[in-house]
Structure 1
Amino acid sequence: MPELTTTAAHEGRLNRPAGIRSLWLGDTKVSYVPDGDVRLRPRPLLPDTTDEVWAAHPEYLDGTGHLVASVGGLLVEHGGRALLIDAGFGPQTFRTPDGPLGVIHGGALPGSLAGLGLAPEDIEAVAFTHLHSDHIGWAVHPVPGEDRPLFPRAEYLIAAPEWDRLDLLAAEGTTERVAALAPRVRTFDDGQEIFPGVRVRITPGHTVGHAEYVITGGGRRLIAFGDAVHSPIQIDHPEWSAAFDHDLARTAEHRRRLVAELAEPDTIGFGVHFADVVFGRVRQDGTGPAWQPVDA
């Protein structure tokens, strides 16, 4: 794996959403599948930060002062089979006048899949890290102009503790739409292998049944950690929890352990919201930002 200087690794990438990016783990291909992006208000998102923090780190912000984040999913291909982890925001746009969320839009995921040579019917299962609207979009929204789901043959894999608390989705107004997925839902428990080389671990904090996925192959492992971390800046400051977290203290405690684990040899992280640095590894050598992008 090539060595990167901290300047070269991050140049221009922290304030633009990611495009399609792929890595190989032995015989398993993992690809970021873009659906759109979200612009976040940094102080409301990370309440423990200060104006001084963001003044010192303008590289994370766009021209309007918003934190730039990606929205999409992770495609896992192995042996002619395909699993999608998370389903983006779907064909919609949403904006708010205050709070952490500025504007979020989706819609690009079908085209992104096509760019990777796959059709929606090639996806045998969609596994969710959690049931927030920016992760379930294309599962609960039909194809625009048509009364049919995007993924015609996929089952939906959801952590049992997450599925058991659909009532917590009331604030997002998505409870009924998610409940309607029930005929195609298969729940899983901690530690299950849901696809060749893909094992789940349930990590409550961001939500009550938040799940991470550990993908192994070729002597490496990739940890798709969902919304345990929203921005690379939290890798340097795992104590900074996000306003969207269900349990801020529990998430911070988990994030500290996760950062240490991501620093272990042959370990790569996948941050679905990590601007144009969705794949990376952690270096804690004091030479600069701990999150170092990995592109091969």
Structure 2
Amino acid sequence: MDTIKLGDVEITRVVERHGGFGPLHTLVPGTPDPAPGWLVPDHHDPATGVMIAAAQTWVLRSAGRTILVDTGVGNDRVRPNPLFNGWQTDFLERLTDIVDPGDVDVVVNTHVHADHVGWNTHNLGGEWTPTFPNAAYLIPRADEEHFRGSAVHDDSVAPILAAGLATLWDTSFRIDENLELEAAPGHTPGSALLRLRSGTDRAVFVGDMVHSPYQLTDPLCNSMFCLDQGQARATRRRVLGRAADERELVVPAHFAGHGAVEVKENGDGFAISGWAGFQSISS
């Protein structure tokens, strides 16, 4: 297992898939061309121009419970984006080696995009069925409403609602004494972050607030997927500023390499001051 511990909270990284996720300058249009060399090799392949990233889930053990943060793309999905269409991976088997799906207590969806809610459900006899039948699924209300009628809502959110497993929340939601959800809109209307505070350790799981480490150095740089560009920039600047002030480990959804990072103020942006203790994954 690829695990670190912050205070009393254990964090395990489970990668669904890792590699090229599309052209860096398309996905994150503000990235300089050529891209900074320090992104190589963990986050950028200069030979192909693609951004190296990961679809992954964070398994947290906190206050006697098991919490999953984001559930990846999932198998058997029909998606308009070819990047996420028709995946078949052994993710669920590898996750089950860490925790039985029936023993998961809480599932956090930082937002309702296809690569964050996929394993909420699985295809069982032709029906989309909750993968974690005993879990409370914490879903931002604004995103649940915004994405109604979409394929991702139909196969990955609606079955959770129908099963009575969803908890829709608005501004904030406390999970336990170590973990609290907080609204962080911009990327989507309901985008959220998860703050971890245990002992003297701090972390913030930021979902898709950043896709590439370059955005840490230039917080005005959005991804192509940010629905409200101005709000996304303001949220990114605010969250990274607090992370620098409080020495929070920043845990994005898609970073490859060591997966999470510490930042410090650097002019109008931030500089990387250290990486997490997770094993590095690279191309």
Tell me whether the two structures share a fold, i.e. TM-score over 0.5: yes
Residue matched to 2:281: none
Instruction: Tell me, in whole angstroms, the C-alpha distance in 1 between the residues paired with 2:129 and 2:141.
Output: 26
Alignment pair present for 1:164 and 2:126 = no
Of 140, 149, 152, the match for 1:174? 152
Taking structure 1 as reference, are residues 142 and 256 closer, same or farther at Cα in structure 2, changes over 3 Å only? same
Aligned sequence identity (%): 27
**When you count strand as a share of all residues, which structure comes out higher?**
2
| RMSD across aligned positions (CA) | 2.9
Q: Deviations over 1:121-146 (max 9, x none)?
A: 11012111001010011113336999
For these two proteins, the number of residue pairs brought into alignment is: 269
Residue matched to 2:249: 268
TM-score normalised over the length of structure 1: 0.80
Taking structure 1 as reference, are residues 72 and 285 closer, same or farther at Cα in structure 2, changes over 3 Å only? same
Of 61, 70, 76, the match for 2:44? 61
Residue matched to 1:85: 69
Instruction: Tell me, in whole angstroms, the C-alpha distance in 1 between the residues paired with 2:248 and 2:63.
Output: 22
Of 261, 268, 276, the match for 1:294? 276
8 A contact 1:232–1:291 mirrored in 2: no
Give 1:81-160 correspondences, 5 Å limit. 81-92=65-76, 105=87, 107-116=89-98, 118-142=99-123, 148-160=129-141
Give 1:33-48 correspondences, 5 Å limit. 33-37=14-18, 39-48=21-30
Instruction: Tell me, in whole angstroms, the C-alpha distance in 2 between the residues paired with 1:262 and 1:106.
Output: 36
Name stretches of at least 5 consecutive residues in structure 1 with no aligned partner.
Answer: 1-19
Instruction: Tell me, in whole angstroms, the C-alpha distance in 2 between the residues paired with 1:21 and 1:285.
Output: 31
8 A contact 1:37–1:106 mirrored in 2: no
SS at the partner of 2:138?
Answer: strand
Letter in 2 for 1:66: V
SS at the partner of 2:3?
Answer: strand
Q: Deviations over 1:70-99 (max 9, x none)?
A: 1111111024310111111112587967xx
Instruction: Tell me, in whole angstroms, the C-alpha distance in 1 between the residues paired with 2:250 and 2:259.
Output: 8
Alignment pair present for 1:213 and 2:194 = yes
